[in-house]
Amino acid sequence: MDDPSAARITVATYTIYREAQRAVDHLSDSGFPVERVAIVAEGLRLVEQVTGRLNWGRAALGGAVSGALIGAFFGALLGLLGLAPLGSALVLVVYGLIVGAFAGSVLALISYAFTGGRRDFTSTGGLQADRYMVMVDPEFAPRAAELVRTMSAPS
């Protein structure tokens, strides 16, 4: 597949993605044909922030919360589909919440047991880039560059 940014010209470079988005939003607000624009990230890396220690209790609690939400959702869905009268629909939600919490907890504990202690921590991950370039098709680059240059500073 061809690289869509290969023939485009960089009109602005930012270190924060939000600023590149703001530039494209400014182009859009100015009536610029934004379908001719791309935001291209360079220098990508995966950053995983460790958020805490994982143990049997946290594994069970996390599974219970997830299972309870899923169970309550399905209980509500069955209640809304008219498979039970209103009072019974609320009972379905409560039962779904309880059964879901139990099932989620058991499944989380089984999953945790299979890790064998190899991942005893919780984390969140995401991609980060060194820079974000606002790139535009060559025939539109001069106008885009002028619009970005006249953009006001962020508030």
**pTM of this prediction?**
0.60
Q: What is the mean pLDDT of each run of 10 residues along the chain (155 residues)?
A: 70 96 96 96 95 92 96 89 73 92 96 88 92 96 94 71
Helix (H, G, I), strand (E, B) or coil at 137: coil
Angle between helices 17-29 and 141-149 (to 10 degrees): 110
pLDDT of residue 1: 43
Residues 108, 59: contact at Cβ < 8 Å? Answer: yes
pLDDT of residue 126: 92
Residues 1, 12: contact at Cβ < 8 Å? Answer: no
Task: Quote the tokens at residue 54.
Answer: 């994982």
Task: Quote the tokens at residue 119.
Answer: 């991942």
Helix (H, G, I), strand (E, B) or coil at 78: helix
pLDDT of residue 35: 96
Q: Is CATH 3.30.1370 correct for 9-44+129-149? A: yes
Locate CATH 3.30.1370 in the chain.
9-44+129-149
pLDDT of residue 92: 87
